[in-house]
Chain A
Amino acid sequence: MSTATTSNSPGKWVVLPHYAFAALAFVALSILLLFSTDAFSGHYFHPKLLTLTHVAALGWATMLIFGALYQLLPVVLDCKLYSEKLATIAFGFLGIGTILLAWCFWNFELGHVMHIAACSLVISFILFNINVIQTARLAPKWTIESDFIVTSAIWLLVTGIVGLIMVLNFTMAFLPVEHTHYLKLHAHIGMAGWFLLLIIGVGSKLIPMFLLAHAESTKKLNWSYNLINAGLVFFIFDHLFFHTALLPVYAVLVVAGILSFMVFIYETSKTRQRHDMDLGMKQTFVALALLLLPIVLVFIVSSQVALPQQLLSAVYLVYGISVFLGFISAIILGQTFKTLPFIVWMHAYEDYVGRFKTPLPKDLYNHAIQRWQNYSYLFGYLLLVTGVLLNNQQIILAGAIGFTITSLLYTANVFQLLLHKVQELKPFSYGNASV
């Protein structure tokens, strides 16, 4: 029998600040949403909508993914994180870049501050790439999960660079065609290249692990990886150079990749030994179900469907909402309570296990709050989408209130975990004898 190594987990100060920042960014996002109900009646290139999108994509989703990934990368790749220092510096640049960019979009300040913000973000993504790629190189074997994670990091950097070029173009105007053309490119590389590939790569390892299930084969994951990347690369070249009407074909490739991942999860979950799913896993499956809406809408936004302009604008907005506030937010709301309690527990109690009776990770946060968080999220999301489609500000406001409640409940639980103090523990006693 071969002897294995000990824990590869990074220090808590590398991981936990990301969760704190992301939770506060989610609250900020919800509050900004309350003041943006008027912005949903027009084009998606609106200062308030650009602010919301970037706070959601960077401050909320990317920040949390960075933090979670520093903890999960050693689990998925079976090796230590390459550099904790790089991770901390990347956190600083991501945080500063996000705050400055949000401020610039909200006030539509397109000058030097926005340049600094975009540069900060690209620096953060470069550092993140170095850390991810070097960690993957330390892994004992290169797996399909490594492919997904490393490629997603590269796509994040490409997304950031396209964003930086667009920011520079605001003041220097050197790009040959209109801004929204590149915005579509920027958004799709970010959504399919960064978020989707990363979530599939990590999810394909974690979901079976949490369900105590085993994957018979990774063939479907290989298909998923190849199809999504092929669709994305074809889309980029076409969008930049050829301008054909083949965009729905590329959408088919990406959707086929998503479906291949879904089949993998379905087949794997049939072997699961754990049947009592906790709220975190239930929310994760809700997130996967919510992916259906952007899958349908991508065909409308990528084809030349003749719809009234007002409805088409609403569909574009719902498409973006269904990705950032639908699928990605839902999966974060679920997976936070599969990862964070465990991380906090490990740092608080690992020295006591075997000597004292310790609580379990699930005992460190409030399950009733988590349940209401999941309800208010679904309520808020459905109302927001309905409000945008019907162009009704009252319904949009009700949705924003739902999101605000969700963010406050979520943040209360996250901070309860982050501020957890080790309780007085009782030593074990065996039978009647105390040892």
Chain B
Amino acid sequence: METQVSEDFGNEVFETLKYIIDPEVGINIVDLGLIYSVSLDGDVLEIELTLTTPGCPMSGTITTATEQILLKRFPNLDVKVNLVWSPPWSTEMITEEGMRQLEGK
């Protein structure tokens, strides 16, 4: 995950996005490694995220959910969410916390 924002603000964004759970896997999208980057340009908060597989039916849902949750959390900012496929998501992108949840610990 890349951030081009202050550490505190970046953490706040990631903590907010942890409320969005991938419905199939049951793990939040941050720990699943779906958030590629967070950047702030003036008052535009830009997020780049991916999905576990191209063609995933969740693409619209997760993109919209990301936008909505950030707009609620940061009502003074414009939120732009880009769904990207490059680099392709792989299981190495799952965080330690995500792996712990996957293993049911």
Partner-B contacts on A (CB < 8 A): 1-9, 71, 74-79, 209-210, 212-214, 271, 273-276, 342-343, 345-346, 350-351, 353-355, 357, 360-362, 428, 430, 435
Chain B residues numbered 28-47 whose CB sits less than 8 Å from any CB in chain A: 36
Is B77 interfacial (CB 8 A cutoff)? Answer: no
Q: Is the CB of B73 within 8 A of A435?
A: yes
Report the interface size class on chain B: 35 or more
| B31 → chain A closest CB, angstroms | 12
Q: A1-B48, A342-B57, A428-B72 are in contact. List 12 more A-B contacts (CB 8 A).
A: A1-B36, A3-B82, A8-B59, A71-B57, A76-B55, A273-B94, A273-B102, A353-B64, A354-B19, A354-B65, A354-B66, A435-B72
Q: Is the CB of A2 within 8 A of B85?
A: yes
Determine the distance from Cα of A78 to Cα of B23 in the docked complex, in whole angstroms. Answer: 19
With A1-B48, A4-B84, A435-B72 already in contact, the answer to whether A360 and B53 are too (CB < 8 A) is no
Q: Is the CB of A8 within 8 A of B61?
A: no
Q: Is the CB of A428 within 8 A of B102?
A: no
Is B68 interfacial (CB 8 A cutoff)? Answer: yes
With A209-B52, A360-B26 already in contact, the answer to whether A275 and B84 are too (CB < 8 A) is no
Q: Is the CB of B64 within 8 A of A350?
A: yes
Q: Is the CB of A78 within 8 A of B54?
A: yes
A4, A351, A435: the one contacting B54 at CB < 8 Å is: A4
Nearest-CB residue, chain A, relative to B22: A360
Q: Is the CB of A428 within 8 A of B53?
A: no
Q: What are 22 contact pairs spanning A and B, CB under 8 A?
A: A3-B82, A4-B83, A6-B59, A6-B60, A6-B63, A8-B57, A9-B57, A9-B60, A71-B57, A75-B55, A79-B55, A209-B52, A273-B99, A275-B103, A342-B23, A345-B23, A354-B20, A354-B68, A355-B68, A357-B19, A430-B16, A430-B19
Q: Is the CB of B23 within 8 A of A8?
A: no
Determine the distance from Cα of A380 to Cα of B35 in the docked complex, in whole angstroms. Answer: 47
Which residues of A lie under 8 Å from residue B64 when comparing CB positions? 350-351, 353-354
Determine the distance from Cα of A275 to Cα of B94 in the docked complex, in whole angstroms. Answer: 14
Is B76 interfacial (CB 8 A cutoff)? Answer: no
Partner-A contacts on B (CB < 8 A): 15-16, 19-21, 23-26, 36, 48, 50, 52-69, 72-73, 82-86, 90-91, 94, 99, 102-104
B58, B82, B84: the one contacting A7 at CB < 8 Å is: B58
Q: Is the CB of A7 within 8 A of B59?
A: yes
Which residues of A lie under 8 Å from residue B103 when comparing CB positions? 275-276
Q: Is the CB of A274 within 8 A of B55?
A: no
Which residues of B lie under 8 Å from residue A213 when comparing CB positions? 91
B20, B56, B63: the one contacting A75 at CB < 8 Å is: B56
Determine the distance from Cα of A214 to Cα of B65 in the docked complex, in whole angstroms. Answer: 27
Determine the distance from Cα of A353 to Cα of B66 in the docked complex, in whole angstroms. Answer: 8
Which residues of A lie under 8 Å from residue B69 when comparing CB positions? 354-355, 428
Nearest-CB residue, chain A, relative to B17: A354
Determine the distance from Cα of A345 to Cα of B90 in the docked complex, in whole angstroms. Answer: 25
| A268 → chain B closest CB, angstroms | 12
Q: Is the CB of A212 within 8 A of B82?
A: no
Determine the distance from Cα of A342 to Cα of B86 in the docked complex, in whole angstroms. Answer: 26
| B36 → chain A closest CB, angstroms | 7
* 8 A-B pairs with the lowest CB-CB distances in the bound complex, closest first: A7-B60, A354-B65, A78-B55, A353-B65, A354-B69, A354-B68, A350-B61, A1-B84
Q: Is the CB of A74 within 8 A of B19?
A: no
Which residues of A lie under 8 Å from residue B56 when comparing CB positions? 75
Which residues of B lie under 8 Å from residue A345 when comparing CB positions? 23
Determine the distance from Cα of A271 to Cα of B94 in the docked complex, in whole angstroms. Answer: 14
Determine the distance from Cα of A214 to Cα of B66 in the docked complex, in whole angstroms. Answer: 26
Nearest-CB residue, chain A, relative to B104: A276
Q: Is the CB of B62 within 8 A of A353?
A: yes
Determine the distance from Cα of A79 to Cα of B61 in the docked complex, in whole angstroms. Answer: 16
Q: Is the CB of B90 within 8 A of A214?
A: yes
